[in-house]
Amino acid sequence: MKKGGNRMKRFKATILTVTVLGAMGAAAHAASVGLNIYNNTKANGSDLTASHVNVNVIDTGAGYSFTFTNDSTITSSITKIYFDHSFASVLAGAGTLTESAGVDYRPATIVSDPPFASDIGWTGSFAYYRAVGTDDPTKIANGILNGALESLTVSFTKVGGTVLDDVLDLLAGTGGIVAHMINIDNEGRTTNIDLTTLGSLDPTGGEDDPVVAIPTPASAAAGLALIGLLAARRRRRH
């Protein structure tokens, strides 16, 4: 805690990656990263341990996609997402947004930095997206709500020669990605929370979100096909 007890840091997540063979034999790479709270703007007794934000990162071959989910067990909405300027070294052009039902995001007309950006070594914003009407507390439903299986995917073309490890290094290091969440406690009061991927390669563990490896759909299908082939061979031998 510092500066009046309303800001905190707990950078202790880990990243697991998976490499699997796709249908054509090309390697597909993906990772799931849990974000850590670094700023609690209005400390009012909300159960911050119930706030869980994850980003699934996939190397699609031609680019990288980032899918954000809200797995919190407290009523909440992710209303803003920031990418640090360091991502300019791996991401090309403007991001394309893919929203699940109930999510309505737009690129911000004015690209600004997240709150207390200097605390996490922010070098400026490469991209900034926000839910429509995010400054109106009555419209937080446009964000990524908890418990609703909602998601937002931001997809970019990759800079040539880069690989998933380059992206993961940026997630864990210089600035990373920040998600702004509005929490609502049992008494209807709001708590503004900012979470970051910074420090997500710290292997010390702790009370952060669980991290899982995720295959791409094509890779998963190829894996199932391989399992079926091996099972068929075993049946023919008996």
Q: Is the pLDDT of residue 17 over 60?
A: no
pLDDT tens digits, one per residue of 124-160: 999 999 998 766 655 678 999 998 799 999 999 999 9
CA distance 140 to 37: 19
- The answer for residues whose C-beta is within 8 angstroms of residue 160's C-beta and 6 or more apart is none
Closest CA relative to residue 197, chosen from 29, 18, 31? 31
167 band by pLDDT with thresholds 50, 70 and 90: very high
Question: Cα–Cα distance between 197 and 68 in angstroms, integer?
Answer: 12
Average pLDDT over all residues of the chain: 74
Highest mean pLDDT (candidates 9-13, 43-47, 154-158, 162-166) = 154-158
The tens digit of pLDDT for each residue in 228-237 reads 433 444 344 4
Q: What is the largest CA-CA distance in the chain?
A: 72
191, two tokens: 């708590």
Instruction: Give residue 43's pLDDT band: very low, low, confident or very high (50, 70, 90).
Output: low
Joined tokens for residue 2: 């510092």
pLDDT score, position 44: 53
Q: Where are the alpha helices (DSSP H) in 99-216?
A: 164-172
CB 42 within 8 A of CB 191: yes
Parse the chain into domains and list their residue ranges: 16-237
Cβ atoms < 10 Å from Cβ of 233: 9
Could you tell me which of 233, 56, 69, 79 has the C-alpha nearest to residue 142?
79
DSSP, res 166: H
Q: Between vectors from CA 171 to CA 166 and to CA 103, what angle results, nearest 5°?
A: 120
- Read off the pLDDT of each residue in 20-38 and give the average, rounded to a whole number: 66
pLDDT at 50: 75
pLDDT in the model for residue 19: 39
Highest mean pLDDT among 86-90, 186-190, 200-204: 86-90
Is the confidence at residue 203, as pLDDT, over 80? no
What is the predicted pLDDT for the residue at 223? 43
Please report the pLDDT score of residue 164 as a whole number.
94
pLDDT in tens, 96-131: 999 999 999 999 888 899 988 888 889 899 999 999
